[in-house]
């Protein structure tokens, strides 16, 4: 332990390796450290500590799990990992820290427009009571319309680590901060309706190697390394990706097909090599490739040279990464028919999981998730809604809930702006969403569902006719 401690300007510092928090700690601002480290730092459970990576932030010291003791690690949430600019397995420094009561704090919402008012500010302040913060931190807060918002601390007085108390003056800025780094993204499995078996299957593949590390080497079993998720649009594939990435304790990298092909055009292969290298260096790791059909379309006559080279590069990276390290690749697509068939050869994506339109029970779950904090009138029946929405995707159901809410809001405020991201907590208190509001929402979204079905049928007939020719 000695070699991990330092004494700079009377501050005792311990260097620890970062590991991801277990699921139950995800939303808590705690850092789990072992007893020995607490003694060295002269702190006890509940004390506030500074965590220093590329940036500095603060957390609450909490005892480590017995099996982590003596390993020189600290377990922190993905939000804290982001806040201190580090990643799993990197070493950060930890020290005891003096905190001040925050006098003033200004928070800016990430990626959403908010109409703030003093009541909403009080609500946020109450949620953050006793929370240690530093400038630049991302903070996650559950708010009215069945959702969470991430805020960034853009102003804080005094400097350093502060705790938010009832006498702190908290303001919410009108400015929106662009969500460039997925800062607002803290989706968990609880946000997904249905898909239980699919989630189980994926988790098994991801978690098996870490649960029984000796299994594969002892019995020379080849565990599955590649999973392909496919299915119609709006059924939760990307949502699932975000949840797995947040919930898994493995290092994860997300690649988006269109981004690799457009943003890095001409450098797509290099970018892919870099990302795979990064994953291997941080293994066990998961690489997610959303919209993989864009990077790996069928290599037909009409495919350009660049596209062909990128597909070939991806295939060789997948083959290489499996043989070298504990890397799992999860590809996601809604166009499996246009995917390069070589990707489906054994040893590449050997688990292919369909994410289909939700059944009635799953639809009820999705309705429940998206109305969780909506003020529903007693007579609204989720069961009934689920029954009346065959062929609706999860995204359609989200649409129905948003439309119903807008209908209800119109009663209170006739000129409501139709931007559904606009949230006003005061208004929410005045409304109740009725079965009729849902009927209106359902009617509106039904049109899209019907149109989509017609289009799908048309495409199918066209495909069949082409086959006949």
Ligand X SMILES: Nc1ncnc2c1ncn2[C@@H]1O[C@H](COP(=O)(O)OP(=O)(O)OP(=O)(O)O)[C@@H](O)[C@H]1O
Given the rule CB under 6 A, which residues bind ligand X? 192-195, 233-239, 334, 366, 369, 394-395, 398
Helix axes 237-247, 196-211, angle to 10 degrees: 30
State the residues that interact with Mg ion by CB under 5 A: 237-238
Supply the minimum distance, in Å, between the C-beta of residue 387 and ligand X: 17
The side-by-side arrangement of strands in the sheet containing 351-354 is 251-256, 285-290, 327-333, 226-230, 351-354
Strands (E), 64-127: 73-76, 91-96, 100-101, 104-109
Residue closer to ligand X, measured from CB, 144 or 236: 236
CB-CB contact of 86 with 18 (8 Å): yes
The one of ligand X, Mg ion, none whose footprint includes residue 192, by CB under 5 to 8 A per kind, is ligand X
Residue closer to ligand X, measured from CB, 292 or 318: 292
What gap in Å lies between CA 353 and CA 420, rounded to an integer? 33
Residue closer to ligand X, measured from CB, 56 or 340: 340
Supply the minimum distance, in Å, between the C-beta of residue 198 and ligand X: 10
The one of Mg ion, ligand X, none whose footprint includes residue 313, by CB under 5 to 8 A per kind, is none
Question: Which residues are paired to 49 by β-bridges?
Answer: 59, 96
- Which H or E element spans position 251? strand 251-256
Residue closer to Mg ion, measured from CB, 175 or 354: 354
Supply the minimum distance, in Å, between the C-beta of residue 287 and ligand X: 17
Supply the minimum distance, in Å, between the C-beta of residue 141 and ligand X: 18
Q: Tokens representing 286?
A: 């998961």
Q: Which residue number places its CB atom closest to Mg ion?
A: 238
Residue closer to ligand X, measured from CB, 33 or 433: 433
What gap in Å lies between CA 323 and CA 231, rounded to an integer? 29
Supply the minimum distance, in Å, between the C-beta of residue 200 and ligand X: 15
Supply the minimum distance, in Å, between the C-beta of residue 255 and ligand X: 14
Supply the minimum distance, in Å, between the C-beta of residue 324 and ligand X: 30
Cα three-residue angle 382-383-388, rounded to 5 degrees: 95
Question: Which residues are paired to 147 by β-bridges?
Answer: 143
The one of ligand X, Mg ion, none whose footprint includes residue 366, by CB under 5 to 8 A per kind, is ligand X
Residue 87: Cβ-neighbour burial (10 angstroms; 0-12, 13-18, 19+)? middle
Residue closer to ligand X, measured from CB, 381 or 420: 420
Q: Which of 254, 87, 107 is nearest to 169 (CA)?
A: 107
Residue closer to Mg ion, measured from CB, 254 or 268: 254
The one of ligand X, Mg ion, none whose footprint includes residue 134, by CB under 5 to 8 A per kind, is none
Q: Which residue number places its CB atom closest to ligand X?
A: 394
């Amino acid at each position: 332990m000695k070699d991990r401690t330092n004494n700079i300007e009377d501050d005792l510092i311990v260097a620890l390796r970062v590991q991801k928090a277990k699921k139950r700690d995800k939303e808590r601002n705690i850092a789990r450290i072992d007893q020995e480290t607490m003694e060295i730092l002269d702190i006890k459970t509940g004390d506030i500590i500074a965590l220093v990576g590329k940036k500095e932030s603060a957390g609450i010291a909490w005892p480590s799990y017995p099996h982590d003791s003596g390993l020189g690690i600290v377990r922190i949430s993905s939000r804290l990992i982001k806040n201190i600019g580090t990643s799993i397995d990197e070493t950060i420094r930890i020290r005891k820290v003096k905190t001040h009561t925050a006098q003033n704090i200004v928070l800016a919402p990430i990626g959403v427009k908010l109409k703030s008012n003093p009541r909403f500010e009080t609500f946020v302040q109450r949620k953050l009571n006793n929370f240690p913060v530093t400038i630049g931190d991302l903070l996650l807060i559950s708010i009215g319309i069945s959702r969470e918002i991430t805020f960034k601390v853009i102003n804080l007085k005094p400097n350093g680590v502060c705790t938010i108390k009832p006498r702190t003056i908290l303001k919410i800025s009108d400015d929106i901060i662009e969500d460039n780094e997925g800062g607002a993204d803290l989706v968990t499995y609880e946000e997904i309706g249905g898909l239980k078996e699919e989630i189980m299957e994926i988790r098994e593949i991801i978690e098996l190697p870490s649960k029984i590390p000796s299994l594969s080497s002892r019995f020379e079993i080849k565990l599955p390394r590649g999973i392909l998720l496919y299915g119609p649009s709006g059924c939760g594939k990307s949502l699932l990706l975000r949840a797995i990435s947040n919930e898994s304790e493995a290092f994860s990298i997300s690649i988006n097909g269109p981004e690799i092909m457009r943003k890095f055009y001409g450098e797509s292969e290099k970018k892919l090599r870099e990302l795979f290298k990064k994953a291997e260096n941080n293994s066990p790791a998961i690489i997610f490739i959303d919209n993989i059909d864009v990077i790996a379309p069928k290599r037909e006559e009409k495919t350009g040279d660049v596209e062909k080279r990128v597909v070939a590069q991806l295939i060789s990276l997948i083959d290489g990464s499996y043989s070298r390290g504990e890397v799992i690749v999860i590809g996601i697509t809604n166009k499996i028919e246009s995917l390069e068939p070589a990707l489906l050869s054994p040893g590449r994506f050997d688990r292919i999981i369909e994410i289909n339109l939700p059944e009635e029970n799953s639809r009820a779950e999705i309705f429940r998730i998206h109305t969780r904090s909506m003020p529903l009138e007693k007579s609204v029946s989720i069961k009934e809604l689920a029954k009346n929405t065959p062929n609706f995707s999860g995204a359609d159901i989200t649409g129905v809930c948003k439309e119903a809410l807008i209908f209800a809001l119109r009663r209170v405020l006739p000129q409501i702006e139709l931007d559904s991201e606009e949230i006003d907590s005061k208004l929410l208190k005045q409304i109740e969403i009725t079965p009729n509001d849902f009927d209106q929402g359902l009617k509106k979204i039904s049109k899209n569902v019907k149109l989509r079905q017609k289009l799908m049928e048309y495409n199918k007939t066209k495909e069949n006719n082409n086959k006949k020719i």
